[in-house]
Amino acid sequence: MAKSVITIPATRSRYTAVPINSQKKRKVAGYARVSTDHEEQQTSYKAQVDYYTNYIKGRGDWEFVSVYTDEGISATSTTKREGFNTMIADALDGRIDLIITKSVSRFARNTVDSLTTIRKLKENGIECYFEKENIWTFDSKGELLLTIMSSLAQEESRSISENVTWGHRKRFADGKVMVPFGRFLGYERGEDGSLVVNEEQAQIVRRIYGMFLQGRSPYAIARMLTEEGIPTPGGKTKWSGSTVRSILTNEKYKGDALLQKVYTVDFLTKKKKVNEGEVPQYYVEHNHDAIITPAMFEEAQTLMEARRPGKDRQSSTGIFSGMIKCGDCGSWYGSKVWHSNDKYRRVIWQCNHKFDGGEKCSTPHLDEETIRGLFVKAAGILYTEKEEIIESMNAAKEILFDIGGLESQQTQLREEMAVVAEMIQQCISENARVALDQTEYQKKYDGLSERFDRVKERLDETTHAIAEKKARRGTIERFLAELEQGEMPAEFRERLWMNLVDHVTVFGKEDVRFTFKDGTEIKV
């Protein structure tokens, strides 16, 4: 007998395993997303939701599940898209059979995310339909078309990101400053988008700088502000030392602005990185009204630098911390508590390295009452010479703290560094495009690199010298103001101690020398 082949038709869907004659309705969900919260996008967002709700409900063979949404969210990553992630989880749990969305770019602009998600859904019998491109993922050509369209969507996202980045850098190059006004203490947005001083908040900023320069640590300042119920820049009730430190190191409070402190590394992950020279930065001087003087700002930076960790760092745990030096080894005095658990308890100060090594320092310890008494004596002597000190310092300070020549030198060095940097970039670019003699190329590159390093070193030295002069001027001006307004003290006052004394050097019980902020040294 002749061989015969009988075809037995498929009776179930190869994707859903549901009988082909089943009257069971497909559970269908829509997905809508807009990437910004602009008004015109809001209209698009609502239109998408209404459209897919009516579209799904209008089909007799479909059962409406929901329209999942993400508002003001980018599609370059699925990580922060709560609506999208909830929809996928519901689909994998069997609540959805079909997902409908406007286009591939609405679903995901990241090719890897898009294909990974589609394949995961497909493995679990869940289909997606992209209306604009007319792609059904169960179709044999679906994945090929999806790959192409996802790649195009990702490329479009990259192009948008580059255009936005270019726009930001163009604004930076033009000196246009952008700040998060909602979390920026002391300023509010002006009519033209500029920074306008909020005087009520500015008082808090001035107070923070004042307390820091009087010797309090960022953590102590944060504790005081929290106890007084003053809200943080972000509107919270608890201050942290890092928040105070960020205010103390933000150049915008002296009227300047450093632009592009951070940059976006990858448009897909949106990962940001502190700019350490990878992309240009722009420093705008006198951009807006200052809340604190440049001299006060530089003084704060100098004090911040002195308090960095290290053997001889200046402490700020108390008013005498980082203020008393050992005459033998030059180290700072630190506090020790004697008889901490009985009625004879007292705090004494002695050299932190008194017992280090073989030979201990011979300098004596001092209790706090003795330090206060010695200060009152030294300040009394200082005030007898008050008029002479003020007159001589006022006559000399314009010469002592003149920075005109240094600023001219700084400008020239910046220009030279920019030229050399451009020459290095051109050298590298030419070597990448043209087959050059590598010995000659390396010689040229090394020469330019050495020149760049020399110019940068000189620029750093000049910038540091300018900052030091500004800081020193601020210190002297506060010293003179305190001296001029005050009277010979009859008792110890903390404010007077912080504003007048630079440091105290202990050589012996009968030889304690107070060095005041103008350089005057008085032995008591």
Three-class DSSP labels, 311-345: CCCCCCCCCCCCCEEECCCCCEEEEEEECCCCCCC
Give just the sign of the alpha carbon dihedral 188, 189, 190, 191: negative
Cα separation of 513 and 522, whole Å?
6
| DSSP three-state, residue 281 | coil
Query: Residue 257, class by beta-carbon neighbours within 10 Å (0-12 exposed, 13-18 middle, 19+ buried)?
Result: buried
Cα separation of 219 and 231, whole Å?
16
Q: Which two structure tokens, joined as six digits, stand for 174?
A: 């033009």
What per-residue confidence (pLDDT) applies to 516?
A: 92
Map out the domains of the chain with their CATH numbers. 26-161 (3.40.50.1390), 189-301 (3.90.1750.20), 324-523 (1.10.287)
What per-residue confidence (pLDDT) applies to 521?
A: 92
Instruction: Identify whether the C-beta of residue 150 lies closer than 8 Å to the C-beta of residue 111.
Output: yes
| DSSP three-state, residue 173 | helix
Rounded to 5 degrees, what angle do the CA atoms 11, 12, 14 make?
A: 130
Cα separation of 155 and 283, whole Å?
33
Fill in the DSSP letter of residue 12: B
Any idea which residue has 């949106």 for tokens?
Answer: 270
DSSP β-ladder status, 282-284 and 272-274: unpaired
What per-residue confidence (pLDDT) applies to 41?
A: 45
Instruction: Identify whether the C-beta of residue 321 lies closer than 8 Å to the C-beta of residue 215.
Output: yes
Rounded to 5 degrees, what angle do the CA atoms 506, 523, 508 make?
A: 30
| DSSP three-state, residue 370 | helix
Instruction: Identify whether the C-beta of residue 420 lies closer than 8 Å to the C-beta of residue 399.
Output: no
Query: Residue 399, class by beta-carbon neighbours within 10 Å (0-12 exposed, 13-18 middle, 19+ buried)?
Result: exposed
Q: pLDDT of the chain along its 524 residues, tens only?
A: 678 787 777 655 554 555 665 667 889 999 987 765 444 444 567 788 888 888 888 888 889 999 998 876 554 455 567 888 899 999 999 899 999 988 877 776 566 677 788 888 888 888 888 888 888 888 767 667 776 766 666 666 566 555 555 555 566 555 566 677 778 898 888 887 788 899 999 999 999 998 888 778 888 899 999 999 999 988 888 999 899 999 999 898 998 888 877 766 655 556 777 777 777 777 888 888 899 888 888 888 888 887 665 555 555 557 888 889 999 888 888 888 876 667 677 888 988 887 776 677 889 999 889 999 999 999 999 998 888 888 888 888 888 888 889 989 999 998 998 899 889 888 888 888 887 788 888 898 899 989 999 999 999 999 889 888 888 888 888 888 888 887 888 889 888 888 889 899 999 989 999 999 888 999 99
What per-residue confidence (pLDDT) applies to 167?
A: 57
What sections of 127-197 are H helices per DSSP? 142-173
What per-residue confidence (pLDDT) applies to 308?
A: 66
DSSP β-ladder status, 98-101 and 26-34: parallel
Cα separation of 41 and 261, whole Å?
30
Q: Integer distance in angstroms from the first to the last C-alpha of the chain?
A: 129
Please report the DSSP string for 489-520 in residue order.
Answer: -SS--HHHHHHHEEEEEEEETTEEEEEETTS-
Cα separation of 293 and 79, whole Å?
44
Cα separation of 44 and 382, whole Å?
74
CA distances, 207 to each of 180, 230, 248, 327, 453 (Å): 22, 12, 11, 34, 40
- CB neighbours of 340 closer than 8 A, spacing ≥ 6? none
Cα separation of 216 and 238, whole Å?
18
What per-residue confidence (pLDDT) applies to 40?
A: 45
Q: Of 77, 233, 230, 256, which Cα lies nearest the Cα of 154?
A: 77
Cα separation of 126 and 97, whole Å?
5
CA distances, 290 to each of 73, 257, 470 (Å): 36, 11, 15
Q: Of 147, 120, 145, 150, which Cα lies nearest the Cα of 135?
A: 145
Q: Which two structure tokens, joined as six digits, stand for 260?
A: 């592009």
Cα separation of 159 and 163, whole Å?
6
Instruction: Identify whether the C-beta of residue 329 lies closer than 8 Å to the C-beta of residue 338.
Output: no
